[in-house]
């Protein structure tokens, strides 16, 4: 720090003030100098490589609302025209919903359980539950999930029916795309606030949505569009199936939103590759004449056939075109599909069906990681929102009919079974778990039983009947070990097994 004339004057006339002044100036210079070399995150820098990086401090709803319609339209188009986008949506739906997430009712009263079960079978497992009369409840589950992944959300609307309609349960469900929500409706109504078509109370409780009468894309004429005004539908008649990734977020985004540009670019690249292949397949020859003024001694054949020998006139030369090469595209294509499958939360093998690069162990590791995403979607979104919401509607309607009992009704939701990569190895592991004390109910549920409790009760009845007939099967773990050897029996069971053996001997005689 250099001393100015003023510094020198203060130091000579007022030493203490001059010292204080110089100390303050030194501190200021340290602060300025330190800010130039301050430690900070590379991601927070705003120059060099990040100079063209647009980063905005927007809230979740501002981010989603500004581009949601365009994002939905892009994903709808890809699902219609891009095979990889279509395949990715089908893979996720196959794992999350499969052939249906089915309930096993639990009540304190056995008679009430039987009534609700009969009512569910008559209503949910037929097309009665569908307002459009096309699918059963499990088909509606799959339809709603695909609509959610493709458009960022899906609505299930309860349609109450009259008893005169002849339905087992006086209620039907209508699945709607999230496009029905009036995203442009943002206003205050009394104390309530409407944000992107969703109405909330002052304490933030969702009380309903503003929905169009018809899909905005179905309004053909100008009159249809003007007459398609949104109307309020209470939340008690709606289930909004969506995945939220930020606190305070209202609407979700399509599952493949990070892959939209890659899917489009890959589709274009495939078209270009196909066009290059067509060019490469062209066999073109050009005739060069070094002496065009000289007279030709004869015509030259303009087609080639196997075994042709052609004598060229003086001055004539034939050169063949060299089409563009197509090397390296296969690896590029695979790399893009790896990124796309990652964006959808599935494995490359599940997306493409190409298992050439995995063995049993690596394939299983990848599948385990993918199944974490699947089970999260099932247990954190599908069951609490869709399944439990419809169960509540079902009970309210069933209690008005002969099937309802008025008591408390809960359900254990049975997830679709996942096919084993190596059934023999994986089943042996599960069997050992049961032998070590794991619940038989969980084992049966894991391998795909629709009603594990009923299967256990049925097995108990079969065991009683086998004991009554003094029959011992080599598959019965009560009497036979896993190796097929008899286990230690009590005197009573020994007598029973001896009788069973004598009966077999008599039958053999």
Which residue(s) pair with 102 in the sheet?
414
Strand order, beta sheet including 206-211:
187-189, 192-195, 198-200, 206-211, 231-234
pLDDT of residue 436: 80
The CA distance from 482 to 451, in Å, is: 26
> Is-contact 107 149, C-beta < 8 A?
no
The CA distance from 199 to 197, in Å, is: 7
Residue 123 CB neighbour total at 10 angstroms: 24
Phi and psi at residue 159, to the nearest 5°: -115, 105
Pairing relationship of beta strands 206-211 and 198-200 according to DSSP bridges: antiparallel
The CA distance from 333 to 237, in Å, is: 46
pLDDT of residue 299: 63
> Is-contact 146 135, C-beta < 8 A?
no
> Is-contact 123 168, C-beta < 8 A?
yes
Closest CA to 240 of 151, 173, 178, 193: 178
The CA distance from 274 to 324, in Å, is: 12
pLDDT of residue 509: 44
Q: H/E element holding 289?
A: strand 285-289
SS (H, E, C) 214-274: CCHHHCCCHHHHHHCCCEEEEHHHEEEECCCCCCCCCCCCCCCHHHHHHHHHHHHHHHHHH
pLDDT of residue 493: 47
The pTM for the full model equals 0.76
Which residue(s) pair with 194 in the sheet?
187, 199
> Is-contact 328 340, C-beta < 8 A?
no
Closest CA to 78 of 340, 300, 307: 340
Closest CA to 378 of 100, 113, 139, 112: 100
- List the chain pLDDT tens, one digit each, 509 residues: 677 778 777 777 888 888 888 888 777 777 666 555 555 777 777 777 777 888 888 888 998 988 899 999 999 999 999 999 999 999 999 999 999 999 999 888 889 999 999 999 999 999 999 999 999 999 999 999 999 999 999 999 999 999 999 999 999 999 999 999 999 999 999 999 999 999 999 999 999 999 998 888 886 655 555 567 899 999 999 999 999 999 999 999 999 999 999 999 999 988 888 887 777 777 666 667 776 665 555 566 666 666 666 666 776 777 776 766 667 788 889 999 999 999 999 999 999 999 888 887 888 888 889 999 999 999 999 999 999 999 999 999 999 999 987 788 999 999 988 877 777 777 777 777 777 877 877 777 776 676 787 788 888 888 888 888 888 887 777 887 767 778 765 554 445 445 544 444 444 44
The CA distance from 18 to 463, in Å, is: 102
Residue in the block written with tokens 């020859």: 285
Closest CA to 500 of 468, 476, 459: 468
> Is-contact 256 88, C-beta < 8 A?
yes
- How many residues make up the chain in this entry? 509
pLDDT of residue 38: 55
Closest CA to 409 of 390, 391, 397: 391
CA 196 to chain centre: 24
């Amino acid at each position: 720090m250099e001393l100015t004339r003023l510094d020198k004057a203060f130091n000579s006339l007022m030493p203490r003030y001059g010292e204080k002044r110089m100390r303050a100036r030194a501190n200021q210079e340290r602060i300025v100098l330190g800010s130039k070399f301050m430690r900070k995150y590379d991601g927070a820098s705003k120059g060099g490589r990040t100079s063209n990086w647009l980063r905005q401090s927007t809230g979740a709803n501002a981010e989603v609302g500004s581009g949601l319609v365009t994002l939905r339209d892009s994903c709808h188009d890809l699902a219609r025209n891009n095979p990889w986008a279509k395949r990715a949506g089908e893979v996720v739906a196959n794992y999350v919903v499969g052939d249906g997430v089915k309930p096993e009712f639990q009540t304190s009263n056995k008679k009430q359980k039987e009534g609700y079960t009969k009512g569910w079978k008559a209503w949910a497992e037929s097309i009665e539950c569908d307002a459009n009369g096309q699918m059963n409840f499990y088909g509606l589950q799959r339809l709603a999930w695909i609509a959610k992944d493709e458009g960022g959300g899906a609505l299930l609307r309860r349609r109450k029916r009259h008893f005169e309609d002849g339905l087992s349960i006086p209620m039907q469900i209508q699945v709607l795309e999230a496009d029905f929500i009036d995203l442009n409706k943002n206003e205050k109504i009394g104390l309530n606030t409407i944000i992107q078509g969703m109405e909330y109370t002052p304490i933030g409780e969702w009380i309903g949505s503003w929905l169009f009468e018809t899909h905005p894309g179905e309004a053909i004429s100008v009159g249809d569009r003007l007459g398609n005004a949104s109307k309020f539908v209470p939340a008690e008649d709606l289930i909004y199936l969506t995945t939220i990734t930020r606190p305070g977020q209202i609407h979700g985004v399509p599952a493949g939103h990070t892959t939209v540009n890659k899917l489009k670019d890959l589709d274009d690249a495939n078209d270009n590759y196909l066009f290059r292949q067509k060019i490469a397949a062209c066999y073109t020859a050009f005739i060069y004449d070094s002496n065009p003024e000289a007279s030709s001694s004869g015509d030259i054949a303009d087609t080639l056939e196997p075994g042709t020998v052609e004598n060229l006139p003086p001055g004539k030369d034939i050169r063949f075109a060299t089409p563009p090469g197509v090397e390296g595209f296969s690896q590029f294509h695979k790399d893009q599909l790896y990124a796309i499958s990652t964006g959808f939360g599935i494995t490359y093998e599940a997306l493409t069906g190409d298992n050439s690069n995995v063995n049993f162990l690596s394939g299983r590791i990848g599948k385990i990681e993918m199944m974490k995403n699947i089970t999260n979607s099932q247990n954190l979104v599908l069951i609490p929102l869709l399944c439990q919401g419809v169960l509540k509607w079902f009970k309210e309607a069933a209690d008005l009919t002969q099937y309802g009992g008025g008591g408390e009704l809960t359900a254990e939701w049975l997830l679709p079974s996942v096919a084993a990569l190596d059934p023999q190895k994986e089943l042996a592991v599960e069997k050992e778990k049961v032998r070590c004390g794991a619940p038989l109910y969980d084992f049966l549920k894991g391998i795909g039983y629709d009603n594990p409790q009923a299967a256990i009760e049925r097995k108990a009845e079969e065991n009683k009947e086998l004991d009554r007939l003094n029959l011992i099967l080599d598959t019965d773990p009560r009497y036979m070990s896993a190796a097929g050897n008899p286990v230690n029996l009590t005197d009573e069971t020994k007598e029973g097994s001896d009788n069973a053996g004598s009966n077999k001997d008599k039958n053999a005689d």
